Amino acid sequence: MAGGFRALSTGKIVRAVLFDTFGTVVDWRTGIAAAVREFSAAHGLALDPGAFADAWRGRYQPAMARVRCGERPFVLLDVLHRENLDDALRAHGVDPGALGQGELNELSRAWHFLPPWPDSVPGITRLKDGYVVGPLSNGNTALLLDMAKAAGLPWDLILGSDVTRAYKPDPAAYRGPAEYLGVDPGEIMLVAAHSADLAGARAAGTGHGVRRPAERVRPEPGRRPRRRPRARRGLGPGRRIDYRPRGAAAAIGIRSGFTQV
């Protein structure tokens, strides 16, 4: 169970490559905006789909922070998403109590069915040849299972945050999967689009040398992306990795993350 690369960050042979999901493997903004657009039209609401998607997602980290600091017990990300939906609606002048709760529950489940980035499935498939692959996500297991089925993500295993009962960047969220896999945390390599996630992995002793490009490479019509990902040199001589829009398989060859052994 090793692909022949050593993580520079830990000095250990990489045995598993685990992925952040929201923004790294799947395009949450496009998926949520589409669901909000349909919901808004069906209910005669004047919601800007992209802006509402951002507002809903913007409550994600503060909600998890209240769990991490002990302000509230651990609850599934599904619960937080549903609570955050109500809060986002109120912030946009919409009373969630005036809407059907079943319909709101269904809208909240849009987080289960997000579209993958174009290279995610083929990239992860390539990595399966030499590594255990799976999500290392704040999503709960049922959410990640639905996502994998809908997007065709070829995971070897799915361990949601409800298994470790910890949200990143809590060190337990990174170390828990290593325990279940029977490997050292340093033998896991995290692939993520977010610097804070990679920093959390580093602090927990997990390999962290692979960074996917920033989110929002598919802007809403009329919106400009925050930045365009750049090409980087891969592991093979003279190879170029084009990160437009993403490079899951290619990410494993970033020189800053691995050395061949």
- Annotated domain spans of the chain: 5-27+114-260, 28-112
Of residues 249 and 67, more confidently modeled? 67
HEC profile for 93-136?
CCCHHHCCHHHHHHHHHHHHCCCECCCHHHHHHHHCCCCEEEEC
Query: Whole-structure pTM over 0.85, yes or no?
Result: no
Confidence class of residue 12 from pLDDT cuts 50, 70 and 90?
Answer: confident
pLDDT value at position 99? 96
- pLDDT digit string, tens, across residues 147-174: 999 999 999 999 999 999 999 999 999 9
- The helix-helix angle for 101-108 and 77-91 (nearest 10°) equals 120
28-112, what's its fold? DNA polymerase; domain 1 (1.10.150)
Rounded-to-integer distance, Cα 19 and Cα 2, Å: 17
Q: How large a percentage of the chain has pLDDT more than 70?
A: 76
- pLDDT digit string, tens, across residues 58-88: 999 999 999 999 999 999 999 999 999 999 9
C-beta separation of 137 from 162 below 8 A: no
Rounded-to-integer distance, Cα 39 and Cα 234, Å: 42
Query: Sign (positive/negative) of CA torsion 116, 127, 254, 140?
Result: positive
5-27+114-260, what's its fold? Rossmann fold (3.40.50)
pLDDT value at position 10? 72
